[in-house]
Amino acid sequence: MKNTCCTAWIADFLESDPPRSKSLVMTIFGDAIVPRGGAIVPRGGAIWLGSLIELLAPFGVNDRLLRTSVFRLAQEGWLSSQRDGRRSAYTIRPEALARFERAYRRIYAPLVVHWDGSWTLVIGPAGSIGAAERGALRKELLWAGYGLISPGIFGHPASNSEALEDILVRNEVQGKLYVCHTTELPGVSTRPLRDMVGECWDLSEVMAGYEKFIARFQPLLTLLQEEPVFDAEQAFVIRSLLTHAYRRVQLHDPQLPVELLPEPWPGTQAYALARDLYRITHAAAEEHILATLRREDEQAADVEPWFFERFGGLNT
């Protein structure tokens, strides 16, 4: 039975801030499809186009719009397709899967990164790489949370070396740049390295994004605590909109160590809110997802055990 208050909340959300179909497809792949293997592919999850059309229908995404979205995502190198007669199945491309998984892992991970007092610097001297390489690298480093310290120098106080190596390799600039780990030099009158946060990032927009997320979803949590969701499709829609909205804010968050964040940091409250809503809706949502997948593929797999580690443990 549908929760009438949640039905109204969903309708208002879709009318006031409808998600773009291509971005929503990526959200649903990351949240619902990648966590399961199966008969089509062993890792990364796959879904028949008919099932994806059915999953996206409650969001107002029609057949034509969805087909256009998956076609463009395939052109951009995110999705690959396999045909079986007249049917097509889609999955994340193997070469994109590691990047995709890292991006989604940060959504569900608690904010526990601590600062050891150092920074990772990526330095590209003039002439070290071409203009096209420099532009593509700049875009990816900024997307990964790096700040621009000065022309040709990017930095982050909590860098992930695996993710950085992946960026360098994919942009074919490995061995062309200087990458180093730096700390303050003792005995020298230096400006504190923590001050570079203010030089590299304007966190006001990120804070505003988290505050908007809280204002939108806090009333929903209150509704669900008073009247839980029993309808599986409704739970799936809520979980997907929650993940989509939280992901949009996270994409602009440079993921700084907690010691370098302003106090109070609204990301902490936003994470707790997302966690609580996800825990309430995930089980019923999974019922809807699996039922939808198995209408076209009887062998569609359930989620892998690591799925339940999201948000600090879904069974907590």
pLDDT per residue as tens digits for the range 103-133: 777 889 887 789 999 999 999 888 888 888 8
Q: What confidence tens digit (pLDDT) does each residue in 154-208 have?
A: 999 998 898 899 899 988 998 999 999 999 999 898 899 999 999 999 999 999 9
Which structure tokens are listed for 104?
């989604």
Asked whether residue 39 carries a pLDDT value surpassing 50, the answer given is no
Is the pLDDT score of 57 beyond 50? yes
pTM (2 d.p.):
0.90
Alpha-carbon separation of residue 61 from 21, 23, 65, 223, 277 (angstroms): 7, 12, 6, 26, 24
Judge whether residue 2 has pLDDT over 80: no
Cβ neighbours of 156 (radius 10 Å):
23
Residue 71: predicted pLDDT? 93
Q: What tens digit of pLDDT does each residue of 206-263 get?
A: 999 999 999 999 999 999 988 877 799 999 999 999 999 999 999 899 999 999 999 9
Give the Cα-Cα-Cα angle 173, 178, 179 (nearest 5 degrees): 95
> What three-state secondary structure class fits 46?
strand
Segment 60-100, tens digit of pLDDT: 999 999 999 999 999 999 999 888 888 889 999 888 887 77
Q: What tokens does 217 get?
A: 């979803």
- State the Cα–Cα distance between residues 20 and 278, nearest whole angstrom: 21
Strands (DSSP E) found in the chain: 46-48, 79-84, 87-92, 119-123, 147-150, 153-156, 178-182
